[in-house]
Amino acid sequence: MRTRPLKVALLGCGVVGSEVARIMTTHADDLAARIGAPVELAGVAVRRPDKVREGIPAELITTDATALVKRGDIDVVVEVIGGVEPARTLITTAFEHGASVVSANKALLAQDGTSLYASADQHGQDLYYEAAVAGAIPLIRPLRESLAGDKINRVMGIVNGTTNFILDRMDTNGAGYSEALDEATALGYAEADPTADVEGFDAAAKAAILAGIAFHTRVRLDDVYREGMTEVTAADFASAKRMGCTIKLLAICERSADGESVTARVHPAMIPLSHPLASVREAYNAVFVEAEAAGRLMFYGPGAGGSPTASAVLGDLVAVCRNKLNEATGPGESAYTQLPVSPMGDVVTRYHISLDVADKPGVLAQVATVFAEHGVSIDTVRQQGKDGEASLVVVTHRAPDAALSGTVEALRKLDTVRGVASIMRVEGE
Ligand SMILES: NC(=O)c1ccc[n+]([C@@H]2O[C@H](COP(=O)([O-])OP(=O)(O)OC[C@H]3O[C@@H](n4cnc5c(N)ncnc54)[C@H](OP(=O)(O)O)[C@@H]3O)[C@@H](O)[C@H]2O)c1
């Protein structure tokens, strides 16, 4: 074993970074044996230098992250600051100064993955980011390496623990959205400002990363269609239950039927209780992959938290250190297919539509005509009347999203339709 240690700069020492430092220290001998050389924590960049950081020698702490990555003797930079800047500049500076990078930064990778890959490649360094999607769950490496010989057609997952916790509570306790969010906040599953989670931004960043890797094409955050889950109601869950379904916030990346394009989207959807994703409870994450030769695979586990996320970071650190010792690099960006990303209107799926209508003869026929005029075929209709008003629940066969939007627009114009109470896609059948 080499005795000269590999030097690691840790950028950020918060929820994830502090656990990375702890495991690096407590498992130092095992890590050295697995890598073939000792790993030394050479510096830790933070914002608040006076904060007590257990187990980290004070002399390693710095607020000058730029000087740390420019030192010239750093082999690997672990970026767990988060956000776009200064993380992006620090990562490219690290490459320029001969360091490989391990990052957990989904927001940055979804926005600038391509230029970061190019920079890593230009300087002969690695960029690994297993922790950026679904925390501890090994997903990036299985997609990028284990399934590199297969053709992936679909990746569908629950990639945000906060929203899964909220929807699970709504499902099991009959709680409303606000009540379930309050519970998630009290238990530490939701941040004070939950927007990134509940509006689907976090899941959309992960969808962009997953689609890019799965389809060997470039998918940016802006390419991902996004709907949050704040509008999901207890009534939606009651409807889902009647159909033998539950509701999940899903990230779905698909190759089109002709294989000529891909789509990436995040939205709440009904899925049958028999689908493996339906049984993913609380704040757990799971990703369901459909590949041509492998068939259906499911990856399941804790999608966040300091220790689980640090596990993924450490796995990358070991891989990158091994590459350093071998004077090699791992796989870089693979975007050779250059498939176009189609808009949401091209997505073909099923829909559950709940309408408030006048309870009088002929309404059902009127509504059915609108669906037929837009080429959306109806699977089932359920009608419930009360005091001159009625609710009409229509479940469609598979149809393009654009056709459904046209249908809904036309339905809203009917005098007999008082309102469109909810529209939800039905997936996983
Ligand atoms: N938390 C999770 O469960 C989880 C899961 C998967 C991925 N991630 C990703 O991991 C990354 C880190 O998340 P986290 O939850 O650990 O965040 P966090 O707890 O907020 O920690 C951020 C750390 O970065 C430091 N920092 C902030 N700005 C800095 C700057 N300009 N220069 C140097 N240091 C700076 C902070 O310093 P102070 O300590 O002085 O404030 C803190 O130590 C993010 O990209 C996140 O998306 C997190």
- Asked whether residue 242 falls in the same domain as residue 283, the answer is yes
Residue 32, domain member (yes or no):
yes
pLDDT of residue 97: 98
- Which of these is catalytic: 7, 106, 206, 248? 206
- Asked whether residue 16 falls in the same domain as residue 125, the answer is yes
Domain boundary (325, 360, 386) is at 325
- Asked whether residue 190 falls in the same domain as residue 232, the answer is yes
How remote is the CA of residue 47 from the centroid of ligand 1, in Å?
10
Q: Give the chain's domain count.
A: 3
- Asked whether residue 84 falls in the same domain as residue 175, the answer is no
Domain residue limits at 19: 6-135+306-325
Regarding the beta carbon of 393 and ligand 1, being less than 6 Å apart is answered: no
pLDDT of residue 384: 79
Q: Which of 309, 313, 314, 317 to mutate to test the pocket of ligand 1 (most atoms within 8 A of CB)?
A: 309
CATH number at 389 reads 3.30.70.260
Above 90 in pLDDT, residue 387?
no
- Asked whether residue 102 falls in the same domain as residue 178, the answer is no
Which numbered atom of ligand 1 lies nearest the CA of 106?
47
CA distances from 36 to 72, 126, 269, 314, 409 (A): 22, 18, 47, 15, 63
Q: Which of 15, 106, 193 to mutate to test the pocket of ligand 1 (most atoms within 8 A of CB)?
A: 15
- State the pLDDT confidence band at 389, using cuts at 50, 70 and 90: confident
Residue 114, domain member (yes or no):
yes
Regarding the beta carbon of 309 and ligand 1, being less than 6 Å apart is answered: yes
- Asked whether residue 152 falls in the same domain as residue 291, the answer is yes
- State the pLDDT confidence band at 429, using cuts at 50, 70 and 90: confident
Residue range 58-67: mean pLDDT, rounded: 97
In the annotation, is 151 catalytic?
A: no
Residue 1, domain member (yes or no):
no
- Asked whether residue 318 falls in the same domain as residue 355, the answer is no
Report the b/e string of 46-72 with b at 16+ CB within 10 A.
beeeeeebeebeeebbbeebeebbbee
Q: Report which of 53, 52, 77 is spatially closest to residue 65, judged by C-alpha positions.
A: 77
At 196, which helix (H) or strand (E)? helix 195-198
pLDDT of residue 314: 98
Share of the chain above pLDDT 70, in %: 100
Residue 110, domain member (yes or no):
yes
CATH number at 119 reads 3.40.50.720
User: Closest Cα to atom 33, ligand 1: which residue?
Assistant: 46
Rounded CA-CA distance 104/403 in Å is 39
pLDDT of residue 1: 83
- Asked whether residue 14 falls in the same domain as residue 117, the answer is yes
How remote is the CA of residue 175 from the centroid of ligand 1, in Å?
32
Residue range 1-5: mean pLDDT, rounded: 89
Residue 338, domain member (yes or no):
no
User: Closest Cα to atom 4, ligand 1: which residue?
Assistant: 304
- Asked whether residue 48 falls in the same domain as residue 189, the answer is no
